[in-house]
Structure 1
Amino acid sequence: MSAAGPGESVLTRAVRILEAFSQDEPALPVSEIARRAGLHVATASRLIAELVAHGLLVRDEQRLVRVGVRLWELASRASPALTLRERAMPFLEGVHDVVGHHVQLAVRDGEEVLFVERLSTPGSVVNYTRIAGRLPLHASSSGLVLLAHAPAMLREQVVEAGPLHAYTTATPAVPGRLRAQLAAIRRDGYAYCPGFVHEDALGIAAPVRDGTGDVVAAVGVVVPNDAAARTHLPVVRTAARGISRALGARPADAQGRGG
């Protein structure tokens, strides 16, 4: 993170502190939080103490700082992602029963895909995604579905951003190839991505629409990259239509193109 500017508000500094944590490092010492937030240790210590007093952060027995349950509570009260997750969960569980690997629900946040739910089974194929994890839109099946249905200006912004990160040789990281991939997704109604993020894994995703017909999420699976993968396509598309109907989409909208 860049250092805090002289005119930066207290709220902005508090947000920088909260952004210091990650799933791989959920507990940090004050000094490390200060470094990541670009703050003087004394300033970070004072703000952390206030956040702890409000329950947004907590200190554990080793005096390391963690995100508090209170923050999750406040974020969940009116979160659109929570409503989406609740409507989608029965369908995700059904897909998981059939597929037996990874099933995930994702939304777009800017130029990234954010995963709001994931169901997995021990021993499943490799998968880099996790709940509250992010990936660039161009790489994963869910991200590509969301990018394909994003505003045209954003699509061009991502396509022309370059150089896009290629996780494997199959990742559509070249503008022409990415444009063709997005056009195929809009035409067919799904993304089929063999080895885009990892050579051994294959992603399949389909769009989820709300009551206005807009694409608001993507439901997907990550399965072994083998000849049997395509058999999972119908169950993914059926789940996407079911979630869409649960969100109020009309049958024609829930079906989407390529349906």
Structure 2
Amino acid sequence: MTAGAWEGSGGAGEEPEADGMLARTMRILACFTADDPELSASHLGRLTGLSSSTLHRILTQMLELGLLSRAPGRRYAVGVRLWELGELSPLALRLRETALPHMSRLYEATGENVHLAVLDAPAPERATALYVGRLTGRTSIPTLSRMGGRQPLHTTGVGKALLAMQSEDWIDRFLARPLERETLHSITEPDAVRAEIERARARGYATTREEMTLGNVSVAAPVGTVAGLPPTAIGVVTHIDGADTRRLGALVTQTAAELGRALRSA
């Protein structure tokens, strides 16, 4: 395949496309989610708004490059090549690989879900917690998090820990948008969220109680600033019954400090 195949503007009779090839490719990839990991061409066409001829040409090229793979039922899935490239990211090669031993020790000490998340913030108004590491066991309480998934900052332990690392101006911009209520216990009032951030800064760790999932408590601590990596936090999620947040807070802050030192010396 030549570079021209990627740069062409479509065949005769085809409506013009305002986006470039890369933008259209990303529009296709953005259609895949945890709920819809496999999609048909007709579904992709409806979601992207691309003409059938343009969509067919791009899908063929993406299959050739390994960006997509075929799935049963004439559907498409994210390709192995994307996973392979993703594993070259600093979030995988540097952060997750360094964090795994520390996450394992935290899991062994608690027996609970262990989460590693970074701040994904193209702008404060759109910032989320991106989960880049997760350890869980047979007896761990179910959670909504997954590797590569995103969750709100104001309703998760790692999210609040990430908020505690930000400047006041940044937080002002973040709180200028309406905050969604995930459960009846979610804290969405700006002044209340600020108070949570201040408590997290004073204690060294953040907590949530049934703010993302009913029955769950999360405790998380910021890892600190590491050159070349986004703000990072590590935490645990456990059942609300019998949750010892003070003990968990001590464990996660110790783990966060040790991980921060390991990352800065790597």
TM over 0.5: yes
**Equivalent residue of 1:197, what SS?**
coil
Describe how 1:132-211 pairs up with structure 2 within 5 A.
132-162=148-178, 164-211=179-226
- What corresponds to 1:124 in structure 2? 140
Amino acid at match of 1:15: M
Match of 2:264 among 217, 241, 248: 248
In structure 1, stretches of 5+ residues that fail to align are 250-259
TM-score, length-normalised on structure 1? 0.88
**Change beyond 3 A, Cα 1:18–1:169:** same
**How much is the aligned-residue C-alpha RMSD, in angstroms?**
2.1
In the TM superposition, residue 211 of structure 1 has moved relative to its aligned partner by 4.4
Distance 1:41 1:154 in 2: 43
- What corresponds to 1:234 in structure 2? 250
Amino acid at match of 2:141: V
Identity over aligned residues, as a percent?
A: 33
Distance 1:138 1:236 in 2: 19
**Change beyond 3 A, Cα 1:215–1:48:** closer
- What corresponds to 2:82 in structure 1? 71
TM-score, length-normalised on structure 2? 0.85
**Change beyond 3 A, Cα 1:223–1:46:** same
In the TM superposition, residue 138 of structure 1 has moved relative to its aligned partner by 1.1
Distance 1:19 1:219 in 2: 27
In the TM superposition, residue 52 of structure 1 has moved relative to its aligned partner by 0.6
**Equivalent residue of 1:34, what SS?**
helix
Distance 1:168 1:61 in 2: 37
Amino acid at match of 2:191: G
Distance 1:108 1:181 in 2: 18
Describe how 1:90-101 pairs up with structure 2 within 5 A.
90-101=101-112
Deviates most, 228-237 or 179-188? 228-237
Distance 1:181 1:77 in 2: 35
Given the alignment of the two structures, is residue 38 of structure 1 paired with residue 54 of structure 2, yes or no?
Answer: no
In the TM superposition, residue 81 of structure 1 has moved relative to its aligned partner by 4.1
**Change beyond 3 A, Cα 1:186–1:215:** farther
In the TM superposition, residue 41 of structure 1 has moved relative to its aligned partner by 2.7
Deviates most, 215-224 or 71-80? 71-80
Match of 2:128 among 112, 127, 147: 112
**Equivalent residue of 1:59, what SS?**
strand
- How far does the alpha carbon of each residue in 1:125-176 deviate from its partner, in whole angstroms, 9 at most, with x for none? 23111111111211101011112212433311221201x1112232121111
Amino acid at match of 1:174: E
Deviates most, 74-83 or 41-50? 74-83
**Change beyond 3 A, Cα 1:192–1:61:** closer
Paired residues, number? 245
**Equivalent residue of 1:17, what SS?**
helix
Contact kept? 2:116, 2:134, Cα under 8 Å: yes
For the pair shown, the structure with the greater C-alpha radius of gyration is 2
- How far does the alpha carbon of each residue in 1:64-123 deviate from its partner, in whole angstroms, 9 at most, with x for none? 101111111122224334310011000101111121121010001111100001111124
**Equivalent residue of 1:247, what SS?**
helix
- What corresponds to 1:88 in structure 2? 99
**Equivalent residue of 2:231, what SS?**
strand
In structure 2, stretches of 5+ residues that fail to align are 1-15, 122-126
**Change beyond 3 A, Cα 1:152–1:44:** farther
**Equivalent residue of 2:32, what SS?**
coil
- What corresponds to 1:253 in structure 2? none
Post-superposition, which runs of at least 4 consecutive aligned residues in structure 1 deviate over 4 A?
Answer: none
Contact kept? 1:125, 1:200, Cα under 8 Å: no
Amino acid at match of 2:146: R
Distance 1:54 1:66 in 2: 13
